[in-house]
Amino acid sequence: MGITKEDVIKFLEKAADLIKQNRDYLTQLDSAIGDADHGINMDRGFTKIMSTLNSVKDKDIGSILRACSMALVSTVGGAAGPLYGTAFMYAAKVLDKKEEIAPEELYQALKAALEGIQLRGKATEGEKTMVDAIAPALRAFEEKLRAGASLKEMLQSAVEAAERGKKNTIPMKATKGRASYLGERSIGHQDPGATSSYLLFKAMLDVVEEKGG
């Protein structure tokens, strides 16, 4: 099953909707261990993406994602803007000039996105960050990809892994970012970045399920 430019646009629209629906929840999570603005910032960023789509929707997938990167960096405050902006930029490099992509190419783009996040944030798994949702999701996606599963099955597995990953941040002690200032007090709270990352994987799955893939 190929992933078209139109699918990418639908993903961005779904992601914007999910972020908006969960804006208060994300901010509530962030109020416990951050600056209480993650939901507000992410909603602002994806609202900006929606306002820029008309000007780039006729371009290739890489160009669309590059525009998303610039929108996020320019509007999302805190660490999330640079991190998600870097993720979109690294994915854009992999998908440059592409009008349609295969599941393998999606995997490579997601892998590049994670590499960008880790390079920018210097984070590894177990530090109570978005990496704790994204890394297991990618492993699950790759496992299904190598087994010859459908794209829907790949994303279902990725979403389940991302969901487990975000929940697994609850007992972790934060050692990166704003939450790390709290030390032991960061234990017992779900990481907002891991939660928004889960929502982005969920948006991908929603598009594929609606497409019938």
- The string of DSSP codes covering 162-194 is HHHHHHHTTTPPP-SSGGGGGGGGGTTS--HHH
What does CATH list as the number for 3-211?
1.25.40.340
> pLDDT class for 157, splitting at 50, 70, 90?
very high
Distance of CA 152 to the CA centre of its chain: 17
pLDDT at 88 over 70: yes
What's the pLDDT score for residue 33? 84
Burial of 68 (0-12, 13-18, 19+ CB in 10 A): buried
Q: Rounded mean pLDDT of 132-149?
A: 98
**E strands within 75-117?**
100-101
What's the pLDDT score for residue 108? 98
> pLDDT class for 137, splitting at 50, 70, 90?
very high
Q: Rounded mean pLDDT of 6-24?
A: 98
pLDDT at 131 over 70: yes
Q: Which DSSP symbol is given to 29? A: H
Tell me how far apart the alpha carbons of residues 163 and 191 are, in angstroms, rounded to a whole number.
12
Residue type, 80: A
Tell me how far apart the alpha carbons of residues 30 and 12 are, in angstroms, rounded to a whole number.
23
Cβ neighbours for 88, distance < 8 A, ≥ 6 positions apart: 65, 66, 68, 69, 72, 113
What's the pLDDT score for residue 2? 85
pLDDT at 213 over 70: no
pLDDT at 35 over 90: no
Q: Which of 4, 207, 192 is nearest to 84 (CA)?
A: 192
Q: Which of 98, 105, 49 is nearest to 72 (CA)?
A: 49
Mean pLDDT, rounded, of the chain: 95
Q: Which of 152, 112, 102, 151 is nearest to 134 (CA)?
A: 112
The 10 Å Cβ neighbour count of residue 208 is 22
> pLDDT class for 195, splitting at 50, 70, 90?
very high
> pLDDT class for 34, splitting at 50, 70, 90?
confident
pLDDT at 180 over 90: no
Summarize pLDDT for 39-48 with one digit per residue, the tens: 999 999 999 9
Contact 97/62 with Cβ under 8 angstroms? yes
Tell me how far apart the alpha carbons of residues 59 and 2 are, in angstroms, rounded to a whole number.
17
Cβ neighbours for 163, distance < 8 A, ≥ 6 positions apart: 133, 198
Q: Rounded mean pLDDT of 84-106?
A: 97
Q: What is the pTM of this model?
A: 0.96
What's the pLDDT score for residue 103? 97
